[in-house]
Amino acid sequence: MTKTTKVILGVITVLLLVVVVLLSSIFSIISGRIGRQDHPNQLVAIDISGVISSGQFGFSGQANSARIMEQINQLREDENVKGLLLRVNSPGGSSAASEAIYQEIIEYKSETGNPVVVAMEDVAASGGYYIATAADQIFASPATTTGSIGVIMQFKDMKELYKKIGVRNVTFKSGDYKDIGNPDRDLTEEEKNFLQELVDEIHEQFVEVIVNERELSRTEVEELADGRIFTGNQAKEINLVDQLGNFYHAVDELERLAEIEGEAELIYYDRQSLLDIIITSFISHLSLDNNLAFKYQFN
């Protein structure tokens, strides 16, 4: 590679970075709280889209709990905000992250007295449904996929692959359970029982939330909580959702619940900028968390 070529490549790289920063700035401006922020009757819409994950960092297709919780928390002291609309399009994800978002919604309702309505999109299943139960009203399309009430934990068994490629793990551990889930060996019966108890406990929490929020009996919820999915129509029949309708039907219902006199202003709340997406995706690749620990999943 000649010196001239290196200089040209360097200039192109710098220009690309400048373009990314400029586009990010523009995107940040147009994707913040879009609407008249001085309007006295604001209804705020927040997206919960993609796999639900803990923290703020991750791919742009993830619903990051810390970012969503921060958005909800920022609304608490805004007296112009009269209601919150959550647009949920998620198959589930981290149980801890789902629970954290759920609790944030409950606290928002308790502190502000404002109504919360959920508009389900294509999918609002498992952890996505867990979050939705915090709302005063849940809307679903007849074709929405929801339900999937349950908890899953999975490990990969790679013993045979390791043998074929000549890899042998050597493990030093401080306790019998420290390397639980090691892909180089089978789980012991004690480990299987231990993990099943953990999964059952998280599952029981899920069931309890639905019993409390949906006014269903424990028997009714336990019959539904076997991991199966439901269409929006089916979910309406068994009281997992309240009404059938689209996003704008949910907006109308939120306006009614908020008892707004006069005209309401729908505010679309902050989304990640282009630069955020690039940086958080890069950090996600560097993160060791996903490799060092197992997670309960509402999937």
- pLDDT tens figures, 184-215: 999 999 999 999 999 999 999 999 999 999 99
The yes-or-no answer on residue 284 being catalytic is no
With a cut of 90, say whether residue 17 has pLDDT above it. Answer: no
CA distances 17 to 6, 139, 275, Å, are: 17, 42, 10
With a cut of 50, say whether residue 295 has pLDDT above it. Answer: no
Radius of gyration of the chain (CA): 23
Mind spelling out the 3-state secondary structure of 196-254?
A: HHHHHHHHHHHHHHHHHHHCCCHHHHHHHCCCCEEEHHHHHHCCCCCEECCHHHHHHHH
d(CA 40, CA 223): 45
Instruction: Pick the catalytic residue from 53, 90, 94, 126.
Output: 126
Backbone φ, ψ for residue 230 (5° rounding): -135, 150
Instruction: Pick the catalytic residue from 163, 173, 178, 192.
Output: 178
How does pLDDT run across 165-191, given as a tens digit for each residue?
A: 998 888 899 999 999 989 999 999 999
With a cut of 80, say whether residue 265 has pLDDT above it. Answer: yes
How does pLDDT run across 146-156, given as a tens digit for each residue?
A: 999 999 999 99
Q: Which structure tokens are listed for 12?
A: 């192109």
Domains, the chain: 31-149+227-298 (3.90.226.10)
Q: Is 221 exposed, middle or buried (0-12, 13-18, 19+ CB in 10 A)?
A: buried
d(CA 166, CA 38): 66
The yes-or-no answer on residue 126 being catalytic is yes
d(CA 39, CA 23): 28
pLDDT band at 2 (very low <50, low <70, confident <90, very high): confident
Q: What angle do CA 83, 87, 93 make, to 5 degrees?
A: 125
Could you give the residue ranges of the DSSP H alpha helices within the chain?
3-30, 65-74, 95-112, 127-132, 159-165, 189-214, 218-224, 232-237, 247-257, 274-286, 289-292
What's residue 255's pLDDT?
95
Q: Can you name the residues that pair with 62 across neighbouring β-strands? A: 51
| Residue 125 near residue 92, CB atoms below 8 Å | yes
Length of the chain: 299
β-pair type (229-231, 51-53) = unpaired
What's residue 39's pLDDT?
76
pLDDT band at 297 (very low <50, low <70, confident <90, very high): low
With a cut of 60, say whether residue 78 has pLDDT above it. Answer: yes
Backbone φ, ψ for residue 43 (5° rounding): -115, 120
SS3 138: strand
Q: What is the mean pLDDT of the chain?
A: 84
Terminal CA-to-CA distance of the chain, rounded, Å?
Answer: 50
| Residue 269 near residue 69, CB atoms below 8 Å | no
d(CA 224, CA 206): 12
**Stretch 34-49: mean pLDDT, rounded?**
79
Q: Could you count the other beta carbons within 10 Å of the beta carbon of residue 252? A: 13
